[in-house]
Structure 1
Amino acid sequence: MSQAPLSPNDLERFCRYLYDRTGMVYGESKRYYVERRLADRMRAVGETQFPSYFSLVRSNAAELAAFINAFTVNETYFYREEHQLRCLSTDLLPEIVRRKGPGDKIRIWSLPCSTGEEAYSIAIWLLENWPMVDAYNVEIAGSDIDTAALDAARAGLYGERALSRLPQSVSEAYFEPRGQGLREIIGDLKESVSFTPANLMEGSTLSPHGRFEVIFCRNVLIYFDEAARARAADNLYTALQPGGFLCLGHSESMTRISDRFTVRRFKDGVVYQRPEDGA
């Protein structure tokens, strides 16, 4: 930053504020990362002193959103951890539909959804691999704390790296070329997935979305400390329908966080289920 580095006290205040709102843990060991992103935001709004910028963040909702966006991680691509998508169509959905009638709604949530690759991947995978997709009203939603990422998800424009894991036939069927190495997801599919803001750490932002049969919450809990993981687990439990399933990233385990979920082991993955009689 052009001004002096953050004092230990200011760094601690800043990191506590970020933690309280996102669950992400930063501290002295990540000082360089923190100061670089702070400097970017301060330049953007014309602030030169940390105290005045910190006051702005706490009083201005738009800057708070931009501030949070600067610290979120949006590394993803289509068909990431494909084994879980296989588990969804082969094991989870057949079990779910046994509790449903023809035409009933099945709700699937990608949280956090980043720039939309996961939510759209779920939609494409079901169209390609689940023969019963047209027999039920499947609703796919994506939510994230990062408003810029949500805008990108709604736009549905992706580069070669994001599409690199997709079979060529799938890319050609669901994406249209837009030049400069970009492809846009087709309109019908774009309209079938909704994207809304939500903060995994704040149950009040999750509850308006209702409950879901399946939630994909992958590769985010690794950024939280133990207390934040426990808080997130409670919010995820509440957001699931009784009998619903939670899919985490391959390096994450709910058994070390909460005992409220039942561990289910399938051929293509381990998932966590809210008991059908769970209060």
Structure 2
Amino acid sequence: MAVPSQNVSIPPISDEDFLKFREYFYRKTGIMFQDNKRYFVDKRIQSQMESGGFRNFRQYFDRVCFQSDGVELQALVNAMTVNETYFYREEYQLKCLVQSILPEVVKNMHSGETIKIWSMPCSTGEEPYSIAFYLLEHWSRVDDFNIEIVASDIDTEVLRKAKLGLYADRAVQYVSQETVGKYMTMTRDGKFQVIDDLRKSIKFTQTNIIDAIEDRFYRGFDVVFCRNLLIYFDDLSRREAAEAIFTALSPGGFVCLGHSESMSRISSLFELRKFPEAIVYQKPA
């Protein structure tokens, strides 16, 4: 076991080591770091090496690759994934959810049936909580159905924060004070925390969307929010992610992507739907 040391001098990451790491990380996560991300990658790796007391890249990389419990790999994944978001991000899609998507989803459903929504990646929780807020505030039929929201991410640290549901005022700047007052409480240090009932109603899970073994647990969703993830993937990983989403959706289900992402350029599995509020993609019924 590597022992942390304050006196360890961390050597630079060589070109060969960078390429070795990039290929390994890509195989594990589907995320491909281009050359222009070299500085970011080197700094994150060196930080992980320093905190673990590793003296060189080979020693560290061996631990990442061969540690039986995968703790070091997960710590590296957490360090490498960027998580910056806020409540009601790309609100037009939330409007589309309540005004156009859900009315189609439920037109052949009976009261009391379950609607399943998947937020992937959910980051620190702003997206799934935004979905819950928006349904409660803007969908008149919210009480007619059992709504199940599943929120997933590859990063265990952001999932821990998401479960806490604790946010600074910047994260809620686009949410009305009335809505914040209904579904959040103010902590002693001036932060906002999602109320217990809402936090407990969302199921948070750790998963990797391009891992077929993990994805088999995600089925029967009516709506998937997969926003601003595919931009980090190459063409192959995007197709794998699209196929995973397709399999996770029920026939006729919908997927919402980020504003700069297009499923039409990735996969022919989905049909493009143009609603008044947003363009989304649908699995054929």
Name the counterpart of 1:93: 102
Alpha-carbon distance in 2 for matches of 1:253, 1:66: 31
Q: Equivalences for 1:70-149 in 2 at 5 Å?
A: 70-149=79-158
Distance across 1 between alignment mates of 2:50 and 2:148: 41
1:217–1:246: 8 Å Cα contact kept in structure 2?
yes
SS at structure 1 position matched to 2:151 = strand
Q: In the alignment, what sits opposite 1:233? A: 242
Where in structure 1 are there 5+ consecutive unaligned residues? none
Which stretch shows the higher mean deviation, 108-117 or 37-46? 37-46
Higher alpha-carbon deviation: 256-265 or 1-10: 1-10
Residues in 1 aligned to 2:270 and 2:182: alpha-carbon distance in whole angstroms: 38
Letter in 1 for 2:43: R
Q: 2:226 aligns with which of 189, 192, 217?
A: 217
Unaligned 5+ runs, structure 2:
1-7
The reply on whether 1:196 has 2:199 as its aligned counterpart is no
TM score, norm. by length of structure 2: 0.94
Q: In structure 2, what is the equivalent of residue 38 of structure 1?
A: 45
Cα deviation, residue 10, structure 1? 1.0
RMSD over aligned Cα atoms: 1.2
The aligned counterpart of 1:15 is 22
Aligned counterpart for 1:273 among listed residues 247, 258, 282: 282
Counterpart check, 1:59 vs 2:66: yes
Mapped contact 1:12–1:27 kept (Cα < 8 A): no
AA matched with 1:173 = K
Q: CA deviation at 1:11?
A: 0.7
In structure 1, give the amino acid aligned to 2:42: E
Alpha-carbon displacement from aligned partner over 1:194-234 (angstroms, at most 9, x marks no partner)? 10011111122122132200000001111111111111111
Q: Deviations over 1:4-40 (max 9, x none)?
A: 3222211111001111111111143222111110111
CA shift for structure 1 position 73? 1.2
| 2:8 is the alignment partner of 1:4 | no
Query: Aligned to 2:55, which of 45, 48, 55?
Result: 48
Q: Which residue of 2 aligns with 1:172?
A: 181
Please report how far the alpha carbon of residue 179 of structure 1 lies from its aligned counterpart in structure 2 after TM superposition. 2.6
Contact 1:144 1:197 in 2 (8 A): yes
- Aligned residue for 1:128, secondary structure, equals helix
TM-fit CA distance, 1:71: 0.6
Q: 2:251 aligns with which of 222, 226, 242?
A: 242
Q: Distance in 2 between matches of 1:209 and 1:28?
A: 34
Give 3-state SS (helix, strand or coil) of 2:83's partner.
coil
Deviation by residue 1:246-273 (Cα, 9 ceiling, x = unmatched):
0000110000000110000001100000
How far residue 114 of structure 1 moved from its aligned partner, in angstroms, is: 0.3
Q: TM-score, length-normalised on structure 1?
A: 0.96
Could you tell me which of 60, 64, 69 is aligned with 2:78? 69
User: Is the partner of 1:194 in helix, strand or coil?
Assistant: strand
Please tell me the residue identity of whatever aligns with 1:14: F
Q: Secondary structure at the match of 1:119?
A: helix
In 2, Cα distance between the equivalents of 1:243 and 1:233?
15
- Matches of 2:158 and 2:82 in 1, distance apart? 10
Q: Which whole-Å deviations, capped at 9, do the CAs of 1:111-156 have from their partners, x for residues lacking one?
A: 0000111001101100000010110011011000000010001111
Amino acid corresponding to residue 22 of structure 1 in structure 2: T
